[in-house]
Chains A and B, each alone.
Chain A
Amino acid sequence: EVQLVQSGAEVKKPGESLKISCKGSGYRFTSNWIAWVRQMPGKGLEWMGIIYPGDSDTRYSPSFQGQVTISADKSISTAYLQWTSLKASDTAMYFCARLGAAAGFVDNWFDPWGQGTLVTVSS
Chain B
Amino acid sequence: QSVLTQPPSVSAAPGQKVTISCSGSSSKIGSYYVSWYQQLPGTAPKLLIYDNNKRPSGIPDRFSGSKSGTSATLGITGLQTGDEADYYCGTWDSSLSAGVFGGGTKLTVL
Contacts and interface: CB of A to CB of B under 8 A. Distances in A.
Interface of A: 35, 37, 44-47, 49-50, 59-62, 95, 97, 100, 105-116
A106 B37 contact: no
Given A44-B104, A62-B96, 7 more contacts: A44-B101, A46-B101, A47-B101, A95-B44, A109-B35, A109-B50, A116-B44
19 contacts: A44-B102, A44-B103, A44-B104, A45-B37, A45-B88, A47-B90, A47-B98, A61-B96, A62-B96, A97-B45, A106-B32, A107-B33, A107-B92, A109-B51, A110-B37, A111-B50, A113-B45, A113-B46, A115-B44
Interface of A is mostly: strand
B60 interface: no
A87 to B, nearest CB: 21
Interface of B: 2, 32-33, 35, 37, 39, 44-47, 50-51, 56, 86, 88, 90, 92, 96-104
Contacts of B44: 95, 113-116
Contacts, number: 70
Contact of A100 (B45, B50, B86, B101): B50
